[in-house]
């Protein structure tokens, strides 16, 4: 929340990743000025919209990421490098849902900080760490796909190497959020009282904020966060997926005939669209929040503009950022054919669940006709089959969907064999 004290000095407060301003009214006394603020920031109808919208993404976040964790941990055949990264993404997004969404929703509805100093430090610090780890994991997934498709002859990452990368991700996330954890503290504003709404009772006003020595240090830290948690990851993700798209366009279409080339070209276009969706969701989800954070520290807004931005625009920006954590398991998990099979096997869904573990992916079996990224490469007549015919009827040949093209576990199919297989492409 952002207030101005009686001398007109701007007093900022940040809970997690936002600042907010509360409208107030002044009562002049003989000696001091007492400022009274309402307990609720919005009308009941507006508050209900906030509660429903935040509750929706909260439930989706918990359910989606929880199922992803369950599938990866339950099935041994799901423990691959890409799936380890997806598991770490699900864990960090779960922390975002547990520690960020409830406190942010509460902060959007009521005035002040209702909890103690320990919760202030833990909540704000864990929020920043979980968000940072989630973003860094998205970068790791993009780099892993880039290596397997653009440079398929390079040695693939091992599980131990992936685990080391994950440890590095969390160390970086903790390191970059340490200053925030140190500066966060609960402060009582002596000249502000909160109206409780009955019998004219009031309560002291507390806020949880980063208490920086000066405004310039706060600006520097916000800029460092913006560069390391949004700008640099965004640049890497865009570059990696752009290179993947270029590699897909340059790869020769397997099979002969115009129909074969046209069919694969259509699938490649769907792959490019899927990559654009992944990058665009990241950009659109986080850009509003970071824009507002930079405006809060650098722009000179009028009190009315600050009130509108902090009370109405910030909640929407936070919702969009949390939406990214809720939709990540859908993009990186359930659009993956392996995760769909793991889901059916884990919950015994469908007639193929019983033998789901025995079924191997097409790209896991080394074949002499893997498609090389060369113009004279050859492939099998049916390069889009995921499974060969099975006597039980469960392994029916499936047409490769665009999600399978992008989100399959590429390191086993392409990196390990030293070539980009038909399925991986």
Q: Three-state secondary structure along 393-404?
A: CCCCCCCCCHHH
**Confidence class of residue 32 from pLDDT cuts 50, 70 and 90?**
low
User: What's the average model confidence in pLDDT over 108-125?
Assistant: 86
Residue with tokens 């918990």: 62
Query: How does DSSP classify residue 176?
Result: H
Rounded to whole angstroms, the Cα distance separating 399 from 396 reads 10
Mean pLDDT of 394-413: 41
pLDDT of residue 194: 82
pLDDT of residue 31: 54
Q: pLDDT confidence of 77, banded at 50, 70, 90?
A: confident
Q: How many helices (H) and strands (E) does the chain have?
A: 13, 8
Predicted pLDDT of residue 226: 95
Q: Which helix (H) or strand (E) holds 130?
A: helix 117-150
Average pLDDT over residues 208-214: 89
Q: Which residues face 37 on adjacent strands?
A: 194
Element holding 286 (H helix, E strand): helix 257-298
What value does the mean pLDDT take over residues 73-91?
A: 86
Burial of 43 (0-12, 13-18, 19+ CB in 10 A): exposed
Q: How far is 18 from 248, CA to CA, in rounded Å?
A: 40
For 294-304, b/e burial (b = at least 16 CB within 10 A) is: bbbbeeeeeee
Q: pLDDT grade, residue 267 (50/70/90)? A: low
How far apart, in whole angstroms, are the C-alpha atoms of residue 149 and residue 245?
A: 10
Give the percent of the chain with pLDDT over 90: 29
Structure tokens at 171: 């160390």
Question: What average pLDDT does range 245-268 have in this prediction?
Answer: 61
Give tens-digit pLDDT for 139-177: 998 998 888 888 888 888 899 999 999 999 999 999 999
The whole-chain average pLDDT of the chain stands at 74
Q: Does residue 339 or residue 171 have the better pLDDT? A: 171
Listed in sequence order, the residues at least 6 apart from 165 whose beta carbon sits closer than 8 Å to its beta carbon are: 85, 140, 157
What integer is the mean pLDDT of 94-111?
Answer: 89
Q: pLDDT above 70 covers what percent of the chain?
A: 68
How many angstroms separate the CA atoms of 325 and 281, rounded?
11
Q: Which residues face 194 on adjacent strands?
A: 37, 203
| Across 123-138, average pLDDT | 91
Q: Which of 144-158, 217-231, 306-320, 369-383 is the most confident on average?
A: 217-231
Instruction: Kindly write down the DSSP assignment for every residue of 94-110, as one continuous string.
Output: HHIIIIIHHHHHHHHHB
Predicted pLDDT of residue 254: 52
The answer to whether residue 57 scores a pLDDT higher than 90 is yes
Q: Kindly report whether the global pTM for this prediction surpasses the value 0.85.
A: no
Q: CB within 8 A of 302, min separation 6: which ones?
A: none
| Residue 166: predicted pLDDT | 97
Q: How many CB atoms lie within 10 A of CB 154?
A: 11
Identify the weakest region by mean pLDDT among 42-51, 133-142, 202-211.
202-211
The pLDDT assigned to 29 comes to 46
Q: CATH for 3-340, among 1.20.1070.10, 3.20.10.10, 1.10.8.350, 3.30.300.30?
A: 1.20.1070.10
Residue 207 has pLDDT above 50, yes or no: yes
Q: What pLDDT, on the 0 to 100 scale, is given for residue 316?
A: 93
- pLDDT, average across residues 227-255: 84
For residue 367, pLDDT over 80 is answered with: no
């Amino acid at each position: 929340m952002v207030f101005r004290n009686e001398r007109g000095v701007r007093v900022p407060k940040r809970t997690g990743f936002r600042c907010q301003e509360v409208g107030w009214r002044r009562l002049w006394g003989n000696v001091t000025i007492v400022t009274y603020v309402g307990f609720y920031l919005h009308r009941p109808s507006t508050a209900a919209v906030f509660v429903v919208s935040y509750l929706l993404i909260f439930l989706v976040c918990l359910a989606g990421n929880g199922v992803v964790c369950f599938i990866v941990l339950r099935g041994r055949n799901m423990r691959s490098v890409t799936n380890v990264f997806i598991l770490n993404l699900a864990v960090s997004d779960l922390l975002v849902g547990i520690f960020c969404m409830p406190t942010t929703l509460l902060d959007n509805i009521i005035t002040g900080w209702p909890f103690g100093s320990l919760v202030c430090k833990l909540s704000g610090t864990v929020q920043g760490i979980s968000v940072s780890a989630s973003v860094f994991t998205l970068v790791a997934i993009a780099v892993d796909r880039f290596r397997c498709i653009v440079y398929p002859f390079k040695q693939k990452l091992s599980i131990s190497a992936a685990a080391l990368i994950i440890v590095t991700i969390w160390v970086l996330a903790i390191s970059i959020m340490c200053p925030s954890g140190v500066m966060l503290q609960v402060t009582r504003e002596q000249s502000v009282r909160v109206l409780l709404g009955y019998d004219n009772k009031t309560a002291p006003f507390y806020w949880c904020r980063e208490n920086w020595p000066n405004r310039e240090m706060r600006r520097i830290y916000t800029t460092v966060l913006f560069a390391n948690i949004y700008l640099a990851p965004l640049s890497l993700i865009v570059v990696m997926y752009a290179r993947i798209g270029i590699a897909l366009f340059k790869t020769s279409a397997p099979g002969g005939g115009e129909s074969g080339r046209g069919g694969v070209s259509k699938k490649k276009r769907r792959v490019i669209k899927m990559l654009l969706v992944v990058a665009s969701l990241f950009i659109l989800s986080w850009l509003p929040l970071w824009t507002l954070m930079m405006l809060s520290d650098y722009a000179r807004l009028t009190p009315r503009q600050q009130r509108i931005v902090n009370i109405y625009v910030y909640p929407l920006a936070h919702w969009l950022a949390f939406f990214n954590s809720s939709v990540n398991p859908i993009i990186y998990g359930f659009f993956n054919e392996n995760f769909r099979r793991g889901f059916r096997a884990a919950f015994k869904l469908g007639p193929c669940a019983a033998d789901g573990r025995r079924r191997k992916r097409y790209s896991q079996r080394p074949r002499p006709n893997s498609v090389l990224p060369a113009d004279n490469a050859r492939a099998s007549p049916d390069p889009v089959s995921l499974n060969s015919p099975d006597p039980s009827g469960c392994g029916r040949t499936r047409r490769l969907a665009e999600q399978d093209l992008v989100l399959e576990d590429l390191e086993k199919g392409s990196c390990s064999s030293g070539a980009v297989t038909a399925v991986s492409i």
